[in-house]
């Protein structure tokens, strides 16, 4: 156990050290938003001037942000469908000069599911958003260095497949972290990646819980929806005998002793202290905390009253839009990940990130290494809301995240929401 703890500490320490440079660059970029955004855009335009899309909109003649805005029209996913079909058939140099690594499917909640071409550079841009979040969190919570973590990034029970000649979906969640990050992740993860490939939901939950219960030094949990974790805990309570038996029969380190310890805790401990006793070193749970997820996050806090529940920023399939940087503050724009524009809902003018006015209503547009993609958030807001203010942007984002987290529910999403409303009303009535 001591050797595992030392390995985990060194792996976490090395990850933070390797991410520190990106963290420093991000902090610098926050003070240089206009110039950072300008340089990013012109670099992308210059690199892709000879692509099919770049030649159509004369990227070679674009030398400023203003010229880009005049040359390239606002578009949505349907405008890119013909280009993506070319990519699916194996054509190169269509939207980007870089080779397409894979096609990542979007959630398909507000419209049909979309497939987003991913390149090496786009993965790097996501890592630029992950690095400052992780470094700032570990600096504020140094005890995380000594523990293991459970990361659930993509939905479980997915299957790698092909669309035409291009693979669909990352083979594993850690691919987002890059080669070195992927290796370091394997050293500190509480649940190995192979568990994600269980095709049966109950088998997935059982095996996930076996690994989590075996990890006494669990320090961090990162999931999208708080309901994902709540349902996992309920599965443990409802099936504790079977899960503890599986733990005891497993070949994990000190599995028998750990099984007996957890069994004793669950036998004698009730209420809020149960999961604190099972995972005494758990310091942070990262999940959605606003909008429709707020009720679920409050329920999660009942299980972990002394654990920090950190809200997430917006990470869509197309773009890394925002990240949590400071405690008890709204997420900040991932200024060095992509090029952002904001459509003023009142005037119709397009503003850049450095020129936003507090209290105004904006929609978000994103240009990434895959030319000209609008953020998924843009389509979601345009399809559902007409007034999105900076003050309440987090709530709108989290409502969309609720749609994402529950997109695989067997029952209609409206019924999921309705049940939660009834439950919440009952709880309020019992209190009063």
**pLDDT tens column, 377-394:** 333 334 333 344 444 444
Is residue 45 within 8 Å of residue 58, measured between CB atoms?
no
Residues 6+ apart with CB under 8 A from 320: 125, 126, 128, 129, 130, 334, 337, 338
Q: For 332-420, list the strands marked E by DSSP.
A: 332-333, 339-344, 350-352, 362-367
CA 31 to chain CA centroid, nearest Å: 25
For residue 5, the tally of other CB atoms under 10 A from its CB is 14
Alpha helices in 284-412 (DSSP H): 293-303, 376-384, 393-405
Q: How many CB atoms lie within 10 A of CB 306?
A: 10
Q: 111 and 171 in contact (C-beta within 8 Å)?
A: no
* First and final C-alpha spacing in the chain: 49
pLDDT in tens, 209-237: 999 999 999 999 998 889 999 999 999 99
Instruction: Report the C-alpha gap between 313 and 334 in whole angstroms.
Output: 9
Torsion of CA 105, 107, 108, 113, to 10 degrees: 0
84 SS3 class: helix
CB 297 within 8 A of CB 288: yes
The pLDDT profile of the chain, 432 residues, written as one tens digit per residue, is 455 567 778 888 888 998 999 999 999 999 999 999 999 999 999 999 999 999 999 999 999 999 999 998 887 778 888 888 898 888 999 988 999 887 877 654 444 567 778 888 888 888 899 899 999 999 999 999 989 999 886 544 444 455 555 555 444 555 556 666 666 666 778 888 788 777 788 899 999 999 999 999 999 999 888 999 999 999 999 999 999 999 999 988 888 899 999 999 998 877 778 999 999 999 999 998 877 888 999 999 989 998 999 988 877 777 888 899 888 787 899 999 999 998 888 888 889 999 988 878 788 888 887 654 433 333 333 433 334 444 444 454 455 445 544 544 555 555 555 565 555 555 555 555
Q: Which residues contact 14 (CB under 8 A, 6 or more apart)?
A: 184
Closest CA to 341 of 132, 34, 126, 31: 34
């Amino acid at each position: 156990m001591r050797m595992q703890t030392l390995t985990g500490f060194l792996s976490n320490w090395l990850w933070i050290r390797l991410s520190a440079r990106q963290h420093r660059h991000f902090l610098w970029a926050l003070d240089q938003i206009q110039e950072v955004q300008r340089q990013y855009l012109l670099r992308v335009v210059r690199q892709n001037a000879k692509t099919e899309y770049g030649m159509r909109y004369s990227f070679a003649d674009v030398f400023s942000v203003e010229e880009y805005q005049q040359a390239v029209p606002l578009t949505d996913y349907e405008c890119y469908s013909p280009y993506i079909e070319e990519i699916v058939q194996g054509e190169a140099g269509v939207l980007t000069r870089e080779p397409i690594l894979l096609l990542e499917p979007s959630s398909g909640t507000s419209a049909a599911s979309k497939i987003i071409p991913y390149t090496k550079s786009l993965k790097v841009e996501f890592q630029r958003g992950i690095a400052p979040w992780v470094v700032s969190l570990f600096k504020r919570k140094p005890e995380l260095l000594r523990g293991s973590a459970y990361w659930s990034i993509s939905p479980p029970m997915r299957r790698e497949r092909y669309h035409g000649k291009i693979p669909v979906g990352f083979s594993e969640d850690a691919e987002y972290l890059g080669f070195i990050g992927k290796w370091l992740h394997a050293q500190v993860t509480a649940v190995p990646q192979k568990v994600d490939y269980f095709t049966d939901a109950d088998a997935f939950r059982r095996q996930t819980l076996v690994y989590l219960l075996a990890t006494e030094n669990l320090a961090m949990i990162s999931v999208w929806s708080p309901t994902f974790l709540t349902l996992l805990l309920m599965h443990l309570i409802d099936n504790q005998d079977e899960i503890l038996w599986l733990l005891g029969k497993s070949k994990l380190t000190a599995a028998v002793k750990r099984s007996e310890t957890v069994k004793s805790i669950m036998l004698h401990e009730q209420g809020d202290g149960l999961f604190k006793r099972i995972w005494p070193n758990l310091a942070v749970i990262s999940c959605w905390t606003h909008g429709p997820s707020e009720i679920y996050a409050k329920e999660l806090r009942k299980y972990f009253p002394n654990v920090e529940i950190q809200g997430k920023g917006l990470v869509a399939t197309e773009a890394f839009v925002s990240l949590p940087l400071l405690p008890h503050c709204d997420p900040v724009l991932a200024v060095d990940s992509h090029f952002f524009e904001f459509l003023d809902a009142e005037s119709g003018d397009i503003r850049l990130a450095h020129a936003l006015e507090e209290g105004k209503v904006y929609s978000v547009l994103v240009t990434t290494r895959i030319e000209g993609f609008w953020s998924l958030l843009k389509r979601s807001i345009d399809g559902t809301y007409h007034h999105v203010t900076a003050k309440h942007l987090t709530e709108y984002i989290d409502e969309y995240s609720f749609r994402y987290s529950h997109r695989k529910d067997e029952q209609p999403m409206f019924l999921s929401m309705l049940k939660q409303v009834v439950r919440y009303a009952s709880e309020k009535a019992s209190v009063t």
